[in-house]
Structure 1
Amino acid sequence: MAIPLILAIDTCEVTCSAALVSGGHTLARRSERLGRGHAERLLPMVSDLLAEASRSFEDLSRLVVSTGPGTFTGLRIGLSVARGLAVAKGIPCVGLMSLPVMAAQAGETGGVIHAIVMGRGGQGFYQAFEGLAPNGLPAQLGPAACLDAEVIAEMIASRPGAVVGSGASLVGAVASIDSVDPSMLGQLGASIEPDMYPPEPAYLRDADAKKGKALLPTEQ
């Protein structure tokens, strides 16, 4: 039986990235900080990855895509490409938020990992993790939410730990991990259920942001 070939895509912030993952190994990977131009770059990037790995679109068995939070346009591009390929090939497509993916990139720290994605107006998208859930994803300590920087700083102070993500500067931290690694995205999404993790965008509307609306359930 052939080992599944997974294509992972992330376009939720300034970085446009993709990776081919199979059997827990990365066959090919690309990551470019574009700011703009994700739509023009993504499909050629995927084609380059397949050529590098001597594979074709027909070999793909699963799509994994980051669902945000992030820019409205960036999210739509990645999700549209992933869902379109999945429908065309008749294969599963799953979505994962960037917050748990970046927390997983930090590895086993032995403590709390605070993930923050930069928002607007002094706000950030925040979620804390510690240990692993039964499905292999970082275990959530609470729901993801859009919060003021001061609130995030207070939450981190109450449970000190590592900080990851593009919004680290909101709390005066410097993060070595500030974007999604598509290889990690692909590995985490390799076996999760599409029904539990659909490829749906996780951006917040202004009205929701004022209420700090949760982006994820607290149970996994």
Structure 2
Amino acid sequence: MKILAIDTSNDVLGVGLVDETKVIGEYITNLKKNHSIRVMPAIERLLADCETKPSDLDKIVVAGGPGSYTGVRIGVTIAKTMAWSLGIPLSGVSSLAVLAAAGRYFPGLVSPLFDARRGLIYTGLYRVKDQEPVIIKEDQNIPAAEWAEILKDTGEPVLFVGNDIELHRETFRTALGERAHFTAVGEFNPRPGELGLLGISRPEENVHTFTPNYIRLVEAEAKWLERQGKVTND
């Protein structure tokens, strides 16, 4: 089984080709550039280098969010289009779960995160068992300081993973002290190969109804709904 993995959910653009036993190839960049014009050439180059035709693919796996609203939408749209046109299954994996997999050798909890601006983060809490990130607390959008207090109450060491941990390092170190651990720079990027391997066993999504997990409304939508009286501030 050959699986194509696509992740454009944040600044990192990643595409990977895997089978059940190995990562065949990966393309990764961490640049603030337009994913919409770069992802298809990246896919085409990866498949060509790996001597794989689109018709050889058996499944598409996509990072379904959370993350950048535009980025998540780009990846999911391309994944759905390819799966539909090729007539193959589509599976989605949490963008945070892909990051959490980097903590497979850490003897504690793993908190992957993306910055969501204004002191907020996208995060969740995982424990990696048998190479699989197991959800302890669901992915959510929460103030970093509030999340730090929640993690403090667990009483366990926590490993933070992701390119944005530097923005919140002091918040977590202050709250958790020596129980706060941070991955090395080389492990900040989510691996598309990891995404593909995690997606092998994920259930098939309905290609027509599958939607990204944005977790929160984008600012423009929230303001529009508020003007319509559909969202109220507590």
Whether TM-score is above 0.5 comes out as: yes
| Contact 1:65 1:199 (8 Å CA) reproduced | no
In structure 1, the partner of 2:142 is 147
Q: What's the % identity of the aligned pairs? A: 28
Q: Give the aligned residue type for 2:27.
A: R
Bigger radius of gyration: 2
Q: Give the aligned residue type for 1:202.
A: N
Specify the SS of the correspondent of 2:16: strand
Question: Which aligned pairs between 1:70-219 and structure 2 lie closer than 5 A?
Answer: 70-132=67-129, 137-158=132-153, 159-169=156-166, 170-172=168-170, 174-176=182-184, 177-195=187-205, 199-203=210-214, 204-205=216-217
Q: Distance in 2 between matches of 1:109 and 1:175?
A: 10
Q: Distance in 2 between matches of 1:188 and 1:199?
A: 18
Specify the SS of the correspondent of 1:143: strand
| Contact 2:6 2:62 (8 Å CA) reproduced | yes
More helix by share: 2
Specify the SS of the correspondent of 1:28: strand
- C-alpha RMSD over aligned residues: 2.4
Q: Distance in 2 between matches of 1:131 and 1:104?
A: 7
Q: Structure 1 stretches of 5 or more lacking a match?
A: 210-220
Q: Distance in 1 between matches of 2:50 and 2:104?
A: 27
Q: Distance in 2 between matches of 1:132 and 1:194?
A: 23
Q: Deviation of residue 157 (structure 1)?
A: 2.4
Aligned length in residues: 204
Q: Distance in 2 between matches of 1:152 and 1:58?
A: 45
- State the TM-score, normalizing by the size of structure 1: 0.85
Q: Give the aligned residue type for 2:7.
A: D
Q: Deviation of residue 199 (structure 1)?
A: 4.6
- State the TM-score, normalizing by the size of structure 2: 0.80
